[in-house]
Amino acid sequence: MKILEELRPKVFDDIVGQQHLTSKETVFRKMVEDGGFDSLILVGPPGTGKTTIAEIICNVLSMPFFQLTRCHSRCKRSETDYGVRQTRWKDSSGVCG
């Protein structure tokens, strides 16, 4: 839905809720801005901002963002598409998604 994508927060300061992660003085935000981690797993129920936070992290780090849902991971065609994307990711200087 295009309208939802347009309304999705684009920077940490636009996120409502999750201030314990996204406020300017938090360790998490400082680590993101300094690029201080190799991997990250965001866990929580639907609608808590995991995808939005992941997309913002990629924007902060100037890395591409690709969204793969569980539905995609069960589809044979998507597995093939994902394999192609995975190869492209390995060739790039950074990976996010």
What is the per-residue pLDDT for 59? Answer: 92
Q: What is the DSSP letter of 14?
A: G
Q: Which CATH class is domain 2-62?
A: alpha beta
What is the per-residue pLDDT for 40? Answer: 87
Quickly state the pLDDT bin for 75 (edges 50, 70, 90).
low
What is the per-residue pLDDT for 89? Answer: 46
Percent of the chain past pLDDT 70, that is, above it, reads 69
User: Mean pLDDT across the stretch 29-42?
Assistant: 88
How many angstroms separate the CA atoms of 22 and 20, rounded?
6
Q: What are φ and ψ of residue 19, in 5° steps?
A: -60, -25
Tokens 């309208």 -> residue? 3
Domain boundaries, the chain: 2-62, 66-97
